[in-house]
Amino acid sequence: MNLNQHPFGCLAALVLLGVGVGVQAEDADKPEWSFDILQLQGDSWCSITPYPQQNEGEGSINPPLQQVEMEESIDLPTQRSKEGWWLGPTSGIIWGSAREIVFDNSGVQNENEYLSELIWELRHVPVFGIESRWRGKRSNDLEMKFSFAIPNMPVGNMNDYDWFYTDRDWSHWSQSHVKQRWGFIFDFSYEEVIVNLDHFKLKLGAGYHMDWWAWKDEVADSLYSTFANRAGRDIPDKFTRAKGDRFRDKADALSVGVNGINYWAMYHVPLLTLSGGFEWDIIALSALGRVGPVLGIAKDHHLRRYEFGSNGVYFYDLVFGGPWVDTSLEVEFRITDRFLLSFRGEFAWLRETRGYSVVVPTGDKAITIGRKAGGFAFRRIGVNAFAFWKIGN
């Protein structure tokens, strides 16, 4: 008789189950006794599940279904999920300096090429901005960066040197406290992966860069030579030995606290870029190097050069050359598939470059143009922090 088909099959099975348990309790040293009838339920309307018995020779018990589903639902970061558009804010601190130079192109032999040099400082300048990165499926990258400095912030000093003699000793000096009128940094670049070896990538690309900074001064100190005059520059070098007691003899020659000079300089750079780095699921390390020629434009307003007019004189400088060289090191931490944190250190340098200088008086004097008379140089070092969110899928 088949218990699964009998109307009292369930009751009989329960009775047999109780008997079987009692027998097992009495004969615990004989674990091989069991009732197979409980394991032949088939598709009975009243199924009874026996206690599970496992032999040591059988395989391991499969994990519960809920645990399997939880393990399958975990979305671990992958390099492929970096594809797409990333956007986020940036912040950092910058140090550096910009040099504004007037060269001697009179043809007079002397030991120094400079007529004047102004050194504008960038000291502990906070910058903020936004950065966008597009990472394509074909391992190409498109980046745009924009940063700005807070205007009217004190950023250091400006030292102004003049050489009215033909030797290397400066004859006039002044120092000013400096406020920054504005500061902007812009970058655009496109890169293609040329080497892809497991976790390492080497990229080649091109881009455009701009630095644009502006300052205003407030005179703090000065020391002038009262005997010096530019007309004496055609006197032989030996004349400088007779400068005597009137060389750097007048302190506080300029009124303290006055605004004497406003200056801005803009550097435009088409760039060739080369970068390499290692990428893992959670962390990435990369280094970037860039180089290119510079188109530089500057405007210098000397407000108190009254010999050129009641509003002073304007100097406009235009140079092309360089080169501009910059480099950066970056470490990136992958918090989730949609959120990154990044930290970057960077350095930029423009070699001293000469070009044209246009003198525009504010009075009745004529405009003059000097070839290889004006120029500048620049350097900047900074540290930055970034946070990126992935936009869209």
pLDDT digits over 183-192, tens only?
A: 999 999 999 9
The CATH number for 355's domain is: 2.40.128.90
Predicted local confidence at residue 243, as pLDDT? 61
Q: 379 and 263, same structural domain?
A: yes
- Together in a domain, 256 and 176: yes
The answer to the question of residue 346 being in a domain is: yes
Banded pLDDT at 139 (limits 50, 70, 90): low
Question: Of 36, 55, 74, which marks where a domain is finished?
Answer: 55
Q: Is residue 70 part of a domain?
A: no
Q: Give 135's pLDDT tier (boundaries 50, 70, 90).
A: confident
Q: What's the whole-number mean pLDDT along residues 80-100?
A: 90
Q: What does the alpha-carbon distance between residue 384 and residue 97 come to, in Å, rounded to a whole number?
A: 18
Q: State whether 93 and 183 are in the same domain.
A: yes
Confidence label for 245 from pLDDT (cuts 50, 70 and 90): low
- Residue 23 domain-assigned (yes or no): yes
**Is residue 35 scored above 70 in pLDDT?**
no
Q: What is the model's pTM?
A: 0.75
Question: Are residue 247 and residue 296 in the same domain, yes or no?
Answer: yes
Q: Are 171 and 247 in contact (CB under 8 A)?
A: yes
**Domain residue limits at 374:** 86-391
Please indicate, yes or no, whether residues 99 and 45 belong to a single structural domain of this protein: no
Q: Determine the Cα–Cα distance for residues 159 and 178; give it in Å rounded to an integer.
A: 10
Write down which residue in 9, 36, 55 finishes a domain: 55
Domain count, the chain: 2
Contact 85, 390 (CB under 8 A): yes
Tell me if 80 is assigned to some domain: no
Residue 163: pLDDT band (50, 70, 90) is confident
Within a domain: 34: yes
Tokens of 153: 């912030």
